[in-house]
Structure 1
C-alpha cells in the first residue's frame, strides 16, 4: 500500500513539473527563446538573421507595414471562390470568375494566385471569420452556380493604411 501511494505521489509530481515546463514554453514566442532560457538546463546561444527569427516566431496578429504599397499585411480571412489544377483551363476560369465578381461587388478586392499546381481565386480582406461569413452569404446568393466551391479560408490580408502613415 505504501509503495503504491509513493508511486502515485511520484507520478503526480512529475506531471506537475511537466505542466510547468509546458507553460514556460508557451510564454516564449519562439523555440530559440525557449532554448536560451536558463531553466532549460544549459546555455545556448543562437545566432540567426532577423528574418529567420520572424519566421520561427509564434506571435499571432502581427501587422507588417509596407508604406510603399499603401497597405499593411496581417492574418485574416478571405473567401475562396475557385481552385483548380487543370493547366489548360484553370487560369482562364479564375480570371473569368474574377471579372464576374468584380462587376457584381466592386468594393471587394479579388486575388488570382498560382501556387503550383493550383490556380485560386480569393475574394476580400476580412479581419474576422464572421465578417467573411456574411460576405460569403452574399456571394452565394449572387452566384448560386459557384456556391459549392465557395468557402472561408485563412490567409494573409491587406489592410488599407493612411497615406501619411510612418512607422
Structure 2
C-alpha cells in the first residue's frame, strides 16, 4: 500500500513538472508605433549635430566679422578634421570649433589647436 501511494505521488509530480515546463514555452510579440524608428534616427542626428546633449566647443576668436573670416580661413587650412563656424553673439562674431562629446576630447583638440591659436579656450555653449 505504501509503495502504491509513493508511485501515485511520484507520477503526479512528474506529470505536473512536464505540464508546467510546456506551459512556460510561448511566443513574444512586440507591438510598437511605426514612428519610433524614425524618431530614434532624428534624435541620433540631433545629438551628432549638437542640438541636444552636452557638447563642448573651442573658441578661437571674438571680434569683428572681417577678422573672424580671416581666423576661420586660417583654421580650416590647418585643421580640416574639426568643423568650424562663425557665430554672432551681440556685439561680436565668434569662431567656434568642434562639437566634442566630453571635456577630455575637447581638451585633446585644444592642446593641438593652441599651437597655432594660443588664445583658444574650451567652453560648453548654453542651450538655446
TM interval, shorter chain, is 0.5 to 0.7
Runs (4 or more) in structure 1 with deviation over 4 Å come to none
Q: Partners in 1 of 2:50 and 2:93 — Cα distance?
A: 24
Residue 136 of structure 1 is aligned with which of 92, 97, 110? 110
Question: TM-score, normalised to structure 2's length?
Answer: 0.57
Q: Partners in 2 of 1:156 and 1:98 — Cα distance?
A: 22
Q: Partners in 2 of 1:83 and 1:155 — Cα distance?
A: 14
Aligned residue runs from structure 1 range 1-167, under 5 A: 65=43, 71=49, 73=51, 74-84=53-63, 90-141=64-115, 143=116, 146-147=117-118, 149-155=119-125
State whether residues 72 and 84 of structure 2, in contact with CA within 8 Å, keep that contact through their aligned partners in structure 1. Answer: yes
Aligned length: 84
Shift of 1:107: 1.2
Q: From the two aligned structures, give the one with the greater strand fraction.
A: 1
1:123–1:71 Cα change, 3 Å: closer
Gaps in structure 1 of 5+ consecutive residues:
1-63, 85-89, 158-167
Larger Rg, first or second structure (1 or 2):
2
The Cα offsets for residues 71-125 of structure 1, whole Å up to 9 and x where unpaired, read as 45222100011012xxxxx101111110111111111100101111111001001
